[in-house]
């Protein structure tokens, strides 16, 4: 077979079909990635924004976050220097942890894949279906999206309800004429070392591209804060805010100069009476310490809902328990549970927010005969019309948990049946 025919055939077998260079780029928002010492791995991603009246499978908050980081129009925490910065986040970083033929990753300033911009954003699984060369947000578990991203070269349907898609690599880009984006990303996945991400440039085309306003979506903000040490009894606490619901990032130093130890992260649950992080152990380690840090303000906290008056909660476990329905009474602190033909009373033992988008819920059934403990994950609800309700406070959409065994009291209870389920409903019946 002539060599001229072998190359297109090979590309088509790999799913990297070429396209005419004259192909027109449609209306939308595009991210042009200039990659490699000579730009040899450059490519363009079409971001998932509304480009027709029928687009409903979109994750606009996550797209807005990407655009703001790329353009340098939002503040973020630099895990390398500890500073609060507001410049172009991705420019000058490197791709890391490549999986040849599988994925490429970027957005980690330390290059370890464990850091972020200092804040977290909820999952939004209303994104478009998986395709080849999809751009996803990387995370450390439910609702921990930040600045790390990866491109999945093959279609991976297991990412549903785990990673949020925000775009797709396109084959032909007017910003990089004569290149094939999919081929370049494929070659990037096999590149040695850590190829440089020289720049990410946002480009808008047409009415849909210019009409998307990334600043109308409420996202977390990072800002310098005046830390203070408060002593209550024998406990010293480092405070970054005067009200519950805020988070803090802080570093410690023995001299007030480098090296700074950290970062350490803290969260004040809504309604907390003791704010800040307990640093009494630090005081025992060193009589003189210096701290610096920043505060993180979240525009809304779904975990602030501390009880569930007149609500119906149905949990589902496909392995053992099936569906258990809880009907809360008017005070939201208990009610009646039902499982098939079985039913009885239950009480809400406690509800404790552990982060901005996660809380622990413990329900005691039949006077304590059985106790379920659930971890609630507050994702963005796919049933909400994001076009008309961009700031809606939403109910939990995922959970994990199991039955607690108290037979070995007073030792801590252990989880004897752990499962991953989901919320069937949480609304007024």
Q: Which of 4-8, 74-78, 253-257 has the lowest mean pLDDT?
A: 4-8
pLDDT reading at 427 higher than 70 = no
Q: Which of 66-75, 240-249, 380-389 has the lowest mean pLDDT?
A: 380-389
Residue 409 pLDDT: 54
Residue 388 pLDDT: 34
**Between 285 and 362, residue with greater pLDDT:** 362
Share of the chain above pLDDT 90, in %: 35
154-189 pLDDT tens trace:
998 888 778 999 999 998 778 887 778 999 999 999
Q: Which of 62-66, 239-243, 324-328 has the lowest mean pLDDT?
A: 239-243
Q: Which of 271-275, 277-281, 388-392 has the lowest mean pLDDT?
A: 388-392
**Which ranges constitute the DSSP H helices of 14-104?**
60-71
Long-range contacts of 21-27 (CB under 8 A, 24+ apart): 21/172, 21/177, 21/178, 23/171, 23/172, 25/170, 25/172, 25/173, 25/174, 25/205, 26/51, 26/205, 26/206, 27/51, 27/205, 27/206, 27/207, 27/208, 27/209
Type and span of the H or E element at 185? helix 181-189
Q: Which pLDDT band holds residue 12 (cuts at 50, 70, 90)? A: very low
Q: 3-216 falls under which CATH superfamily?
A: Cyclophilin-like (2.40.100.10)
Domain boundaries, the chain: 3-216, 221-297, 303-427
Q: Which of 105-109, 117-121, 354-358, 411-415 has the lowest mean pLDDT?
A: 411-415
Instruction: List, edge to edge, every strand of the sheet that includes 235-239.
Output: 228-232, 235-239, 277-278
Residue 260 pLDDT: 85
Residue 422 pLDDT: 66
- Average pLDDT for 346-356: 87
- Average pLDDT for 73-79: 94
Instruction: List, edge to edge, every strand of the sheet that includes 261-267.
Output: 221-224, 290-297, 247-253, 261-267
Residue 37 pLDDT: 93
Share of the chain above pLDDT 70, in %: 83
Residue 261 pLDDT: 86
DSSP β-ladder status, 93-94 and 196-205: antiparallel
DSSP β-ladder status, 334-339 and 342-355: antiparallel
- Cβ atoms within 10 Å, residue 368: 10
pLDDT reading at 115 higher than 70 = yes
pLDDT reading at 9 higher than 50 = no
């Amino acid at each position: 077979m002539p060599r001229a025919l072998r190359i297109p055939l090979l590309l088509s077998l790999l799913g990297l079909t070429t396209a005419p260079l004259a192909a027109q780029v449609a209306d939308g928002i595009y991210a042009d990635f200039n990659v490699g010492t000579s730009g040899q791995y450059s490519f363009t991603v079409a971001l998932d924004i509304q480009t027709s009246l029928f687009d409903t499978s979109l994750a606009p908050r996550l797209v807005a976050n990407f655009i703001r980081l790329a353009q340098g129009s939002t503040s973020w925490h630099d895990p390398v220097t500890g500073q609060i910065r507001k410049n172009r986040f991705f420019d000058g970083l490197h791709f890391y942890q490549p999986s040849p033929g599988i994925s490429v990753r970027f957005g980690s300033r330390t290059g370890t894949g464990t850091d972020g911009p200092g804040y977290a954003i909820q999952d939004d699984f209303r994104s478009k279906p998986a395709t080849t060369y999809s751009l996803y947000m990387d995370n450390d578990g439910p609702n921990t999206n930040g600045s790390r991203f990866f491109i999945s070269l093959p279609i991976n349907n297991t990412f549903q309800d785990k990673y949020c898609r925000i775009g797709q690599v396109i084959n032909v880009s007017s910003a990089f004429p004569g290149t094939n984006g999919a081929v370049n990303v494929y070659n990037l996945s096999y590149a040695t070392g850590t190829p440089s991400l020289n720049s990410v440039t946002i480009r808008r085309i047409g009415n849909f591209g210019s009409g998307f306003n990334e600043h109308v979506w409420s996202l977390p903000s990072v800002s310098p804060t005046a830390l203070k040490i408060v002593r209550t009894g024998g406990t010293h606490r480092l405070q970054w805010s005067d009200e519950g619901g805020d988070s803090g990032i802080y570093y410690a130093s023995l001299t007030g100069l480098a090296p700074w130890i950290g970062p350490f992260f803290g969260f004040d649950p809504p309604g907390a009476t003791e704010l800040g992080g307990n640093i009494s152990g630090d005081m025992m380690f060193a009589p003189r310490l210096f701290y610096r840090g920043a505060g993180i303000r979240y525009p809304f906290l779904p975990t602030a809902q501390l009880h569930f008056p007149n609500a119906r909660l149905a949990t589902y476990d496909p392995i053992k328990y099936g569906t258990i329905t809880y009907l809360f009474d008017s005070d939201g602190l208990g009610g009646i549970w039902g499982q098939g033909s079985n039913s009885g009373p239950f009480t809400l033992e406690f509800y404790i927010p552990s982060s901005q988008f996660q809380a622990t819920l413990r329900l005691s059934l039949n006077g304590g005969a059985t106790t379920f403990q659930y971890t609630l994950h507050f994702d963005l609800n796919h049933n909400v019309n994001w076009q008309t309700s961009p700031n809606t406070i939403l109910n939990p959409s995922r959970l994990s948990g199991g039955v607690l065994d108290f037979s070995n009291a007073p030792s801590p209870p252990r989880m004897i049946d752990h499962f991953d389920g989901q919320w069937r409903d949480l609304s007024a019946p």
